[in-house]
Structure 1
Amino acid sequence: MLCKIGSGGFGDVFKVKTKSNSEVYAVKVIDFIAKELTDKHKRDVYKEVEYLKRIDNKYIVHCMDAWREMDVVYIQLEMCSQNLTNILEIKPQVFKRLPKESMNSYEYIISCEIFKEVLECVQYLHGLPLIHRDLKPDNILISDNSLNGRFIKLCDFGLVTEHDNIIHNKTLNKHTADVGTERYIAPEVIFGAKYNHKCDIHNLAVIGGDIFGINVLTDLDK
């Protein structure tokens, strides 16, 4: 184990190096006892493992392996050294501007490319058809390997749910209410209304604002 690189509600993520071939990976460690996880939260952890192992695609962080030892679950993932939050924090410094100053054309073009790749990731997920329900910069990773011409990947599938539009339109059943991260969660999810994949679109609008320096929750009302 080299160092801790992240943490969340369910567990912590560590950078590790294998003894056999010195390959570097990220390992997510979820301790059911230490985190005092409920049965529902445990099911969410197992669901995340199921989806990550089932989806092997350039748009999603790659899961090499997952296993359980006693009350601890380990998820071995490809190493992504940064997430979108990290990039947004340093972006003004890289382009030598103050946070409130307008972007120059170079930064704008790069911001467009970042957002385009995020949109492609979500488009792929919705085609499966799955709803992420917790899209935010922390859950958008920057891959260390861009050999396929892409560098943006989605992670954290603990709140992912399957969504079939045909079934959804014919039933009164609703997806779980009030899930996600407060700043990004869609109003229909907060208030327990019937919702579909469009709740992710709300998240994307807020993320897009973050990328381009606009607070869409307040600035557009001015």
Structure 2
Amino acid sequence: METQWITELPHANMDKRPRKRPRLTWDMPPPIPPPKVIPPIYCGQEFVNVAVSNYAYSALNYKGHPRNGSPPRRNDDKDGHYVFAVGENLTPRYLILSKMGEGTFGQVLECLDDETKELVAIKIVRSIHKYREAAMIEIDVLQKLAKHDISGTRCVQIRNWFDYRNHICIVFEKLGPSLYDFLRKNSYRSFPIDLVREIGRQLLESVAFMHDLRLIHTDLKPENILLVSSEYIKVPDYKFLSRSTKEGSYYKNLPKSSAIKLIDFGSTTFEHQDHTYVVSTRHYRAPEVILGLGWNYPCDLWSVGCILLELCSGEALFQTHENLEHLAMMERVLGPLPHHMVIRADRHAEKYFRRGTRLDWPDGAASRESMRAVWKLPRLQNLVMQHVDHSAGDIIDLLQGLLRYEPAERLKAREALRHPFFTRDSRRCGYSL
């Protein structure tokens, strides 16, 4: 069984933090512990057996700084990112093994927790005030989620947090790859409908859990949904079996387990907070956000609909980077925008419509390429039928409920969980390969 893949953007839940955050004396080296054996670590396709003695373990550390001590101080890079070297420590407790990912917030490192002997993912936030403040808000959200998610099955678990050399560091359990990374490394091949069903069920359960706590994620996307396990199996891709099978590309990978967890709560918003700004990553942004009509819980359900369709097809539904083109794509796939929403659009969105009623398309298109990108999109039903064999009728109906323009008419998370797509075959207990 092959077990590759590296996760990229992990996150998690953690201990209660004090009201005030004291500076911790991380640079005081502790006594040298007895020899230990560090378990094997898989890194991509490489198998690494790390350290079987104090000497070998210390050799991993940065240029002879004390065993389990912090490295010499370095200046952050020009963007405020923490500068590190693989093999040195992040505080005396965490040994840096690899870099897992990077984003606008900072970077994520794979580390070994010297106390628990557990592999963890540590999010190191840039030493810039607005990102530090956002990180503290995320910690508050993570702790609220952890308090209520007793089983720890819905959202990534936070293990710890600390302020290190002006960087907020959040320690998470280490999970598998994101759904986006799995699709990308699998040449954007779609998932079987039964796997989409199991992932969709868990995703909606997690969203319902957050909404019950009066929290809105606001940034649901395949990058922020992680498989719990990195293990996968290789199966024939039947769409290619009629052709030559000399190349391995005629096989595709499928996760060995369908278990997932939500991550990245840096944009999560409480119900009572301001909801006037723009939220969500472009491809998964709801129409009410683009039109400036305000947003609430339903914006998460629009994102869920886009994600489920992407898992069915292998590609993002609305691959665009511009508002007018995005709205034109919506109308191409889902039909015209409701008149009552158009006339309420804010002053920033008015320019997308002619005489305030009809979308200014294709006249307002930025290019012929943009026009072609819209024209090539099929209607929702046809798009699903291209990729789904059985259960097509049920998932089309579910998607039509999740992708309703009017937020008040959109399915709620718990309503979606009662949809026949999830309940029709009550005997099904998991996806089978």
Secondary structure of the 1:193 match is: coil
Moved over 4 A (4+): 90-93
1:71 pairs with 2:166: yes
Match of residue 120 from structure 1 = 205
1:205 pairs with 2:305: yes
1:130 pairs with 2:215: yes
- 2:286 pairs, out of 186, 189, 193, with 186
Match of residue 153 from structure 1 = 261
- 1:111 pairs, out of 150, 171, 196, with 196
What is the one-letter code of the residue matched to 1:4? K
- 1:85 pairs, out of 147, 155, 180, with 180
Secondary structure of the 1:2 match is: strand
Instruction: Report the aligned-residue RMSD.
Output: 2.5
Structure 2 CA distance for aligned equivalents of residues 151 and 160 of structure 1: 22
Normalised to the residue count of structure 2, the TM-score between the two structures is 0.42
Equivalent residues of 1:83, 1:139 under 8 A apart: yes
Structure 2 CA distance for aligned equivalents of residues 27 and 142 of structure 1: 17
Secondary structure of the 1:80 match is: coil
Structure 1 residues 216 and 19, CA gap change in structure 2 (3 angstroms): closer
> Identity percentage over the alignment?
29
Structure 2 CA distance for aligned equivalents of residues 45 and 192 of structure 1: 27
Secondary structure of the 2:133 match is: helix
Secondary structure of the 1:183 match is: helix
- Can you list the C-alpha shifts for 1:96-129, whole angstroms capped at 9, x where unaligned? xxx4xx87xxx22112111211111111111111
1:24 pairs with 2:137: no
Secondary structure of the 1:13 match is: strand
Structure 1 CA distance for aligned equivalents of residues 290 and 102 of structure 2: 24
Structure 1 CA distance for aligned equivalents of residues 187 and 168 of structure 2: 38
Secondary structure of the 2:281 match is: coil
1:47 pairs with 2:137: yes
What is the one-letter code of the residue matched to 1:10? F
- Can you list the C-alpha shifts for 1:128-179, whole angstroms capped at 9, x where unaligned? 111000101111111139xxx9721111111111116xxxxxxxx8514112
Structure 2 CA distance for aligned equivalents of residues 42 and 14 of structure 1: 17
Secondary structure of the 2:202 match is: helix
Q: Which of 1 and 2 has higher RCO (CA within 8 Å, sep 6+)?
A: 1
1:8 pairs with 2:103: yes
Structure 1 residue runs without a partner (length 5+): 94-98, 165-172
Structure 1 residues 150 and 163, CA gap change in structure 2 (3 angstroms): farther
What is the one-letter code of the residue matched to 1:186? A
Structure 1 residues 31 and 216, CA gap change in structure 2 (3 angstroms): closer
Match of residue 167 from structure 1 = none
Secondary structure of the 2:100 match is: strand
Residue 55 of structure 1: how far off its partner (Å) = 1.5
Equivalent residues of 1:83, 1:141 under 8 A apart: yes
What is the one-letter code of the residue matched to 1:42? R
What is the one-letter code of the residue matched to 1:220? V
Residue 25 of structure 1: how far off its partner (Å) = 0.6
1:220 pairs with 2:315: no
Structure 2 CA distance for aligned equivalents of residues 123 and 138 of structure 1: 19
